[in-house]
Amino acid sequence: MHLNLADRFVASCLGAAVGESMGLPAEGLDPARISSVYGHIDSPVARVDSPDFLASPAGSIARQTEALIAVLRASGPLPDLQHFASHLKESFARHPEKWPRHSTFPWPPFPDEGHYTFAFALPGAWQMLNGTLDEEGATEWIRSLEPVSVVWKHGTWIYMRLLHWLYSQNEATLNKKLYLSKVMAFTEEAEEKFPGDHKMKRRMQLIEPLLDGELDESGQPQRSIWR
Protein backbone atom coordinates (compact mmCIF):
# COMPACT_ATOMS: atom_id res chain seq x y z
CA MET A 1 0.00 0.00 0.00
CA HIS A 2 1.37 3.39 -1.00
CA LEU A 3 1.44 6.00 1.74
CA ASN A 4 1.97 9.65 0.91
CA LEU A 5 3.51 12.40 3.00
CA ALA A 6 0.29 13.27 4.80
CA ASP A 7 -0.47 9.63 5.65
CA ARG A 8 2.95 9.02 7.17
CA PHE A 9 2.95 12.28 9.10
CA VAL A 10 -0.49 11.64 10.59
CA ALA A 11 0.38 8.02 11.40
CA SER A 12 3.61 9.04 13.17
CA CYS A 13 1.88 11.66 15.29
CA LEU A 14 -1.04 9.37 16.13
CA GLY A 15 1.30 6.51 17.01
CA ALA A 16 3.23 8.69 19.43
CA ALA A 17 -0.02 10.13 20.80
CA VAL A 18 -1.42 6.67 21.58
CA GLY A 19 1.87 5.55 23.12
CA GLU A 20 1.97 8.55 25.45
CA SER A 21 -1.52 7.85 26.75
CA MET A 22 -0.73 4.16 27.26
CA GLY A 23 2.26 5.09 29.40
CA LEU A 24 0.50 7.85 31.34
CA PRO A 25 -0.03 5.88 34.61
CA ALA A 26 3.72 5.18 34.90
CA GLU A 27 4.90 8.76 34.32
CA GLY A 28 7.54 9.75 36.84
CA LEU A 29 7.75 6.26 38.38
CA ASP A 30 10.79 3.99 38.42
CA PRO A 31 10.38 0.25 37.65
CA ALA A 32 10.24 -0.74 41.33
CA ARG A 33 7.51 1.80 42.02
CA ILE A 34 5.52 0.69 38.97
CA SER A 35 5.70 -2.92 40.16
CA SER A 36 4.65 -2.07 43.72
CA VAL A 37 1.73 0.15 42.62
CA TYR A 38 0.37 -1.85 39.68
CA GLY A 39 1.85 -5.32 39.81
CA HIS A 40 1.10 -7.15 36.54
CA ILE A 41 -0.57 -4.81 34.04
CA ASP A 42 -2.82 -6.39 31.41
CA SER A 43 -5.34 -3.59 30.85
CA PRO A 44 -5.60 0.22 31.19
CA VAL A 45 -5.03 1.39 34.76
CA ALA A 46 -5.62 4.63 36.64
CA ARG A 47 -2.79 6.99 37.54
CA VAL A 48 -2.36 7.21 41.30
CA ASP A 49 -2.15 10.51 43.15
CA SER A 50 1.44 11.64 43.75
CA PRO A 51 3.37 14.76 44.79
CA ASP A 52 3.98 15.53 41.10
CA PHE A 53 0.76 14.44 39.36
CA LEU A 54 -2.95 14.36 40.06
CA ALA A 55 -4.76 11.03 39.95
CA SER A 56 -6.34 10.16 36.60
CA PRO A 57 -8.89 7.44 35.77
CA ALA A 58 -7.96 4.51 33.55
CA GLY A 59 -8.00 5.43 29.88
CA SER A 60 -7.11 9.09 30.41
CA ILE A 61 -5.42 11.02 27.61
CA ALA A 62 -1.90 12.28 28.30
CA ARG A 63 -0.90 15.92 27.90
CA GLN A 64 1.67 14.85 25.30
CA THR A 65 -1.19 13.28 23.35
CA GLU A 66 -2.98 16.63 23.44
CA ALA A 67 0.22 18.28 22.21
CA LEU A 68 0.64 15.91 19.27
CA ILE A 69 -2.99 16.37 18.30
CA ALA A 70 -2.29 20.11 18.44
CA VAL A 71 0.57 19.59 15.97
CA LEU A 72 -1.81 17.78 13.61
CA ARG A 73 -4.44 20.48 13.91
CA ALA A 74 -1.84 23.13 13.08
CA SER A 75 -0.33 21.36 10.07
CA GLY A 76 -1.09 22.01 6.46
CA PRO A 77 1.28 20.28 5.68
CA LEU A 78 4.10 22.15 7.49
CA PRO A 79 3.13 22.84 11.11
CA ASP A 80 2.32 26.44 11.98
CA LEU A 81 3.82 27.41 15.33
CA GLN A 82 1.25 29.99 16.36
CA HIS A 83 -1.67 27.66 15.67
CA PHE A 84 0.11 24.86 17.52
CA ALA A 85 0.65 27.09 20.55
CA SER A 86 -2.96 28.28 20.63
CA HIS A 87 -4.30 24.72 20.39
CA LEU A 88 -1.99 23.55 23.17
CA LYS A 89 -2.85 26.51 25.40
CA GLU A 90 -6.54 25.76 24.88
CA SER A 91 -5.93 22.15 25.92
CA PHE A 92 -4.04 23.27 29.03
CA ALA A 93 -6.97 25.49 30.02
CA ARG A 94 -9.51 22.67 29.46
CA HIS A 95 -7.49 19.91 31.14
CA PRO A 96 -5.10 21.40 33.75
CA GLU A 97 -5.17 18.07 35.62
CA LYS A 98 -3.13 16.48 32.82
CA TRP A 99 -0.10 18.65 33.54
CA PRO A 100 2.21 18.34 36.57
CA ARG A 101 0.79 19.87 39.75
CA HIS A 102 3.11 22.87 39.77
CA SER A 103 3.33 23.54 36.04
CA THR A 104 2.56 26.84 34.43
CA PHE A 105 1.89 27.42 30.77
CA PRO A 106 5.25 28.37 29.24
CA TRP A 107 5.94 30.31 26.09
CA PRO A 108 6.85 28.70 23.82
CA PRO A 109 4.76 25.76 25.05
CA PHE A 110 7.24 22.96 24.49
CA PRO A 111 10.71 21.78 25.54
CA ASP A 112 13.82 22.13 23.41
CA GLU A 113 13.46 18.74 21.79
CA GLY A 114 11.36 15.59 21.82
CA HIS A 115 8.04 14.78 20.16
CA TYR A 116 7.40 18.34 19.06
CA THR A 117 10.64 18.92 17.17
CA PHE A 118 10.30 15.49 15.55
CA ALA A 119 6.67 16.13 14.59
CA PHE A 120 7.62 19.48 13.05
CA ALA A 121 10.59 17.95 11.21
CA LEU A 122 8.83 14.94 9.68
CA PRO A 123 6.68 16.69 7.03
CA GLY A 124 9.60 18.95 6.13
CA ALA A 125 11.82 15.92 5.53
CA TRP A 126 9.26 14.31 3.25
CA GLN A 127 8.78 17.49 1.27
CA MET A 128 12.56 17.69 0.81
CA LEU A 129 12.59 14.08 -0.37
CA ASN A 130 9.73 14.72 -2.80
CA GLY A 131 11.42 17.82 -4.20
CA THR A 132 8.75 20.27 -3.00
CA LEU A 133 10.99 21.87 -0.36
CA ASP A 134 14.63 22.81 -0.89
CA GLU A 135 17.27 23.64 1.72
CA GLU A 136 16.72 27.38 1.39
CA GLY A 137 12.97 27.00 1.85
CA ALA A 138 13.45 24.72 4.85
CA THR A 139 15.84 27.21 6.42
CA GLU A 140 13.40 30.07 5.99
CA TRP A 141 10.56 27.97 7.39
CA ILE A 142 12.46 27.15 10.58
CA ARG A 143 13.56 30.78 10.92
CA SER A 144 9.86 31.71 10.81
CA LEU A 145 9.10 29.59 13.88
CA GLU A 146 8.99 32.32 16.49
CA PRO A 147 9.18 32.63 19.38
CA VAL A 148 11.25 29.50 19.99
CA SER A 149 14.68 28.83 21.41
CA VAL A 150 17.68 28.41 19.14
CA VAL A 151 18.08 24.88 20.50
CA TRP A 152 14.51 24.08 19.41
CA LYS A 153 15.42 25.19 15.88
CA HIS A 154 18.58 23.10 16.01
CA GLY A 155 16.63 20.01 17.07
CA THR A 156 14.05 20.47 14.33
CA TRP A 157 16.73 21.00 11.68
CA ILE A 158 18.79 17.99 12.76
CA TYR A 159 15.73 15.72 12.79
CA MET A 160 14.60 17.00 9.39
CA ARG A 161 17.98 16.61 7.68
CA LEU A 162 18.60 13.21 9.28
CA LEU A 163 15.16 11.89 8.30
CA HIS A 164 15.64 13.16 4.74
CA TRP A 165 18.95 11.31 4.55
CA LEU A 166 17.59 8.13 6.16
CA TYR A 167 14.69 7.94 3.71
CA SER A 168 17.21 7.43 0.89
CA GLN A 169 19.16 4.67 2.69
CA ASN A 170 18.80 0.91 2.49
CA GLU A 171 18.08 -0.47 5.94
CA ALA A 172 19.96 -3.71 5.30
CA THR A 173 23.18 -1.92 4.34
CA LEU A 174 22.97 1.15 6.56
CA ASN A 175 26.44 2.21 7.70
CA LYS A 176 26.00 3.13 11.35
CA LYS A 177 29.28 5.00 11.59
CA LEU A 178 28.24 7.07 8.59
CA TYR A 179 24.92 7.68 10.36
CA LEU A 180 26.78 9.07 13.37
CA SER A 181 28.96 11.29 11.18
CA LYS A 182 25.80 12.60 9.49
CA VAL A 183 24.29 13.50 12.86
CA MET A 184 27.42 15.46 13.74
CA ALA A 185 27.48 17.15 10.32
CA PHE A 186 23.82 18.17 10.57
CA THR A 187 24.47 19.50 14.08
CA GLU A 188 27.23 21.71 12.70
CA GLU A 189 24.95 22.75 9.86
CA ALA A 190 22.18 23.71 12.30
CA GLU A 191 24.51 25.89 14.35
CA GLU A 192 25.75 27.66 11.23
CA LYS A 193 22.21 28.43 10.07
CA PHE A 194 20.79 29.32 13.48
CA PRO A 195 23.67 30.66 15.61
CA GLY A 196 23.50 31.47 19.28
CA ASP A 197 23.77 28.20 21.21
CA HIS A 198 25.96 25.09 21.23
CA LYS A 199 23.90 22.80 23.47
CA MET A 200 23.17 20.21 20.78
CA LYS A 201 26.82 20.00 19.74
CA ARG A 202 27.98 19.66 23.35
CA ARG A 203 25.54 16.81 23.87
CA MET A 204 26.77 14.99 20.78
CA GLN A 205 30.40 15.52 21.78
CA LEU A 206 29.63 13.91 25.13
CA ILE A 207 27.63 11.04 23.67
CA GLU A 208 29.78 10.18 20.64
CA PRO A 209 32.60 8.43 22.59
CA LEU A 210 30.02 6.25 24.37
CA LEU A 211 28.44 4.88 21.21
CA ASP A 212 31.10 2.19 20.79
CA GLY A 213 29.96 0.51 24.00
CA GLU A 214 26.85 0.79 26.13
CA LEU A 215 27.09 0.77 29.92
CA ASP A 216 24.93 -1.48 32.04
CA GLU A 217 23.79 -0.50 35.54
CA SER A 218 27.08 -1.68 37.05
CA GLY A 219 29.04 0.66 34.77
CA GLN A 220 30.74 -2.16 32.85
CA PRO A 221 31.12 -1.72 29.08
CA GLN A 222 28.85 -3.93 26.97
CA ARG A 223 29.09 -5.15 23.38
CA SER A 224 28.68 -2.26 20.97
CA ILE A 225 25.34 -1.82 19.22
CA TRP A 226 27.13 0.05 16.43
CA ARG A 227 29.16 -2.87 15.06
> How confident is the model over 187-213, as pLDDT tens digits?
889 999 998 877 776 666 555 554 454
- Whether residue 225 is predicted with pLDDT greater than 50 in this model: the reply is no
- Cα–Cα distance for residue pair 171/199, rounded to 1 Å: 30
Cα distances (Å, whole numbers) of residue 208 to 79, 173, 222:
31, 21, 15
- Cα–Cα distance for residue pair 102/108, rounded to 1 Å: 17
Mean per-residue pLDDT of the chain: 76
Q: At what angle do helices 115-129 and 150-167 cross, to 10 degrees?
A: 40
Predicted local confidence at residue 161, as pLDDT = 93
> How confident is the model over 90-127, as pLDDT tens digits?
777 787 777 777 765 554 455 445 556 777 787 788 88
Is the Cβ–Cβ distance between 69 and 136 less than 8 Å? Answer: no
Predicted local confidence at residue 3, as pLDDT = 59
75 CB-side CA count, 13 A: 22
Angle, CA of 77, 158 and 219, to the nearest 5°:
130
Predicted local confidence at residue 21, as pLDDT = 87
DSSP 51: S
Which of 41 and 227 is assigned the larger pLDDT?
41
- Cα–Cα distance for residue pair 182/145, rounded to 1 Å: 24
**Strands, E assignment, 92-140:** none
Predicted local confidence at residue 23, as pLDDT = 85
